[in-house]
Amino acid sequence: MTLIDRTAAPAATAPGRAARITGWVLTSLVALFLLFDSVTKLLQLPAVVEATVQMGFPATTVPVIGGTLLACLVLYLIPRTAVLGAVLLTGYLGGAVCAQLRIEAPVLGYLLFPVYTGVLVWLGLYLRSAALRALVRAGS
């Protein structure tokens, strides 16, 4: 019988090549979508401003929302701050779910889309990050 030291941090095992590539592909797709979303808000495109106002937000908040999303996305894409960025993106996407609930958006269409996006954010990061894998293993 061996004793297991549960206080010791598990060794970070590097993800395999296929997992890393898949993780970066997922990260890239999500990042492109979120970048497009943030840029349209920062540019205050009329359709984006109108949609935001219809959701009950003042038009003046559109660039603030876009800037917040862009800042979270930049943190997510930098390997040293990727986990912080993913946590912040999760909060941002949670706000998007709340906004969709507020206007009683259809569940399968608009309401759950931010949830799907959040899952892809974390899945992409998990597949490409040995540190996150170690953290998940330490918690189980």
Q: Give the model confidence (pLDDT) of 22-36 as tens digits.
A: 999 999 999 999 999
pLDDT tens for residues 89-139? Answer: 999 999 999 998 888 878 777 888 999 999 999 999 999 998 888 888 887
Residue 93 sits at the vertex; the CA angle it makes with 61 and 91, to the nearest 5 degrees, is: 90
User: What secondary structure letter does DSSP report for 103?
Assistant: T
pLDDT mean across residues, the chain: 89
CA atoms of 100 and 96, how far apart (whole Å): 6
User: What secondary structure letter does DSSP report for 44?
Assistant: T
Q: Pick from 112, 49, 39, 30: which is nearest to 69 by CA? A: 39
End-to-end Cα distance, the chain: 21
pLDDT at position 7 over 70: no
The CA–CA distances, whole Å, from 105 to 5, 96, 121 equal 49, 11, 22
Amino acid identity, position 36: F
User: What secondary structure letter does DSSP report for 36?
Assistant: H
The pTM score is 0.84
User: What secondary structure letter does DSSP report for 10?
Assistant: P
